[in-house]
């Protein structure tokens, strides 16, 4: 992924993609002092850019460092990156980390870096494909207690158990894994939040030890706008067999129906379908969509 053409915004300037490198003694690499975002542009416009940038700043704040670029600078850089590279439907990855001046657990004065990369990312799945639903395994790792990890930060360190869980699920032929939390309650997938449907109502775990996704909040709003009741509560794995539908939400996942979690099967029903469509409509740019220039 590091040998592409194009540019990456790195500490305030656009540099060739291939040259956007860090030193091996970077604190962020050794001690996970790194935070990031995952954003998506539709029709040339980043969906909820301001909220993502705000969360990026907040994630850094939770890890005790300040990103030396304002929201205005970051948002303008993101838009400029898309414009310069004629990206219309794209994924955007801002990442901030502590640099390499000091090597040790403590690195109070290390430079804070910020890079923003973006690449073309059309919606992979055709709706018909997605409507089949994906299969989830149950993860062995659990979301940590908030006293163990700063869960409100979209911090690199919190993804160690996500990658382990996703790899384990993939090895068994599943698309992803459902993680429980430290109490044994249903939490989320490895990079997306989870919703269930029963008797026409939505049920989703209270985000008290995992990310309260921007997509999650958007979908809750869309569901309520349709008059659907959304119940945020503790959900136990024993309840899974009683739910009729299940779907994941996330910037990358959008609204993705789930057909199976371990031994439990779900239908891809009307509510999942409607929310998938409502989300697709919601992410469309407010202004006239930008079309890629020819050539
Ligand atoms: N949980 C985890 C662990 C994630 O990585 C993501 C993706 N950022 C989400 C939930 C969903 O968050 P969002 O809707 O803001 O993309």
CA angle 96, 115, 189 (to 5 degrees): 60
Could you tell me if residue 254 is inside a domain?
yes
Provide the CATH number for the domain around residue 102. 3.30.470.10
Judge if 232 and 90 occupy the same domain: no
Dihedral of alpha carbons 266, 202, 212, 219, sign: positive
State residue 155's pLDDT score: 98
Judge if 218 and 90 occupy the same domain: no
Domain limit, last residue, from 92, 120, 148: 120
CA angle 239, 240, 245 (to 5 degrees): 125
Judge if 101 and 215 occupy the same domain: no
Question: Under a CB-based contact definition with an 8 Å cutoff, are residues 160 and 120 in contact?
Answer: no
Judge if 142 and 234 occupy the same domain: yes
Domain limit, last residue, from 120, 139, 174: 120
What does residue 268 show for φ and ψ, rounded to 5 degrees? -95, 95
Judge if 102 and 147 occupy the same domain: no
- Other Cβ atoms closer than 10 A to 122: 9
Judge if 272 and 131 occupy the same domain: yes
Q: CA 154 to CA 162: how far, in whole Å? A: 12
pTM attached to this predicted model: 0.95
Q: What pLDDT, in 10s, does the model give residues 205-262? A: 999 999 999 999 999 999 999 999 999 999 999 999 999 999 999 999 999 999 999 9
Judge if 143 and 239 occupy the same domain: yes
Q: What domain count does the chain have?
A: 2
Q: How far is the CA of 192 from the centre of ligand 1 (A)?
A: 5
Q: Active-site residues: which are they?
A: 154
Assess whether the C-beta atom of 215 lies below 6 angstroms from ligand 1.
yes
Assess whether the C-beta atom of 193 lies below 6 angstroms from ligand 1.
yes
Assess whether the C-beta atom of 59 lies below 6 angstroms from ligand 1.
no
Judge if 259 and 132 occupy the same domain: yes
Could you tell me if residue 291 is inside a domain?
no
Judge if 258 and 145 occupy the same domain: yes
Q: In ligand 1, which atom is closest to the CA atom of 190?
A: 3
State residue 240's pLDDT score: 98
State residue 188's pLDDT score: 98
Domain coverage including residue 140? 127-282
State residue 80's pLDDT score: 98
Supply the residue whose CA is at minimum distance from atom 2 of ligand 1.
191
Judge if 171 and 214 occupy the same domain: yes
Provide the CATH number for the domain around residue 150. 3.20.10.10
Could you tell me if residue 25 is inside a domain?
yes
Judge if 143 and 68 occupy the same domain: no
Residue ranges in the chain modelled with pLDDT below 50: 295
State residue 23's pLDDT score: 97
Supply the residue whose CA is at minimum distance from atom 7 of ligand 1.
191
Q: How far is the CA of 194 from the centre of ligand 1 (A)?
A: 10
Assess whether the C-beta atom of 188 lies below 6 angstroms from ligand 1.
yes
Could you tell me if residue 2 is inside a domain?
no
Question: Under a CB-based contact definition with an 8 Å cutoff, are residues 137 and 164 in contact?
Answer: no
Q: CA 258 to CA 157: how far, in whole Å? A: 27
State residue 121's pLDDT score: 92
Domain limit, last residue, from 120, 154, 172: 120
- Residue 53's nearest CA partner among 81, 89, 77, 29 is 77
Q: How far is the CA of 103 from the centre of ligand 1 (A)?
A: 30
Q: CA 252 to CA 257: how far, in whole Å? A: 13
Assess whether the C-beta atom of 251 lies below 6 angstroms from ligand 1.
yes
Judge if 90 and 206 occupy the same domain: no
Q: How far is the CA of 95 from the centre of ligand 1 (A)?
A: 15
């Amino acid at each position: 992924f590091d040998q592409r053409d194009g540019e990456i915004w790195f500490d305030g300037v656009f540099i060739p993609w291939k040259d956007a490198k860090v030193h091996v003694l970077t604190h962020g690499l050794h001690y996970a002092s790194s935070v990031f975002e995952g954003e998506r542009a539709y029709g040339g416009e980043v969906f909820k850019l301001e909220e993502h940038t705000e969360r990026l700043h907040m994630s850094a704040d939770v890890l005790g460092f300040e990103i030396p670029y304002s929201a205005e600078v970051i948002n303008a850089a993101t838009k400029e990156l898309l414009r310069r590279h004629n990206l219309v439907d794209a994924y955007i990855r801002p990442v901030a980390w502590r640099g390499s001046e000091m090597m040790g657990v403590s690195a109070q004065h290390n430079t804070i870096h910020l890079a923003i990369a973006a690449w073309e990312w059309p919606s992979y799945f055709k709706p018909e494909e997605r409507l089949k639903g994906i299969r989830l395994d149950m993860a062995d790792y659990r979301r940590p207690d908030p006293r163990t990890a700063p869960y409100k930060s979209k911090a690199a360190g919190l993804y160690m158990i996500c990658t382990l869980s996703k790899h384990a699920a993939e090895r068994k032929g599943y698309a992803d894994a459902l993680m429980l939390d430290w109490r044994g309650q249903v939490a989320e997938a490895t990079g997306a939040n989870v919703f269930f449907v029963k008797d026409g109502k939505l049920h989703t775990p209270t985000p008290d030890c995992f990310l309260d996704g921007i997509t999650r909040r958007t979908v809750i709003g869309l569901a309520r706008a349709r008059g659907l009741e959304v119940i945020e509560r503790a959900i136990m794995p024993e309840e899974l067999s009683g739910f009729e539908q299940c779907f994941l939400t996330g910037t990358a996942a959008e609204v993705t129906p789930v057909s199976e979690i371990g031994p439990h099967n779900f239908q891809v029903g009307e509510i999942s379908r409607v929310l998938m469509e409502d989300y697709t409509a919601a992410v469309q740019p407010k202004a006239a969509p930008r079309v890629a220039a020819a050539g």
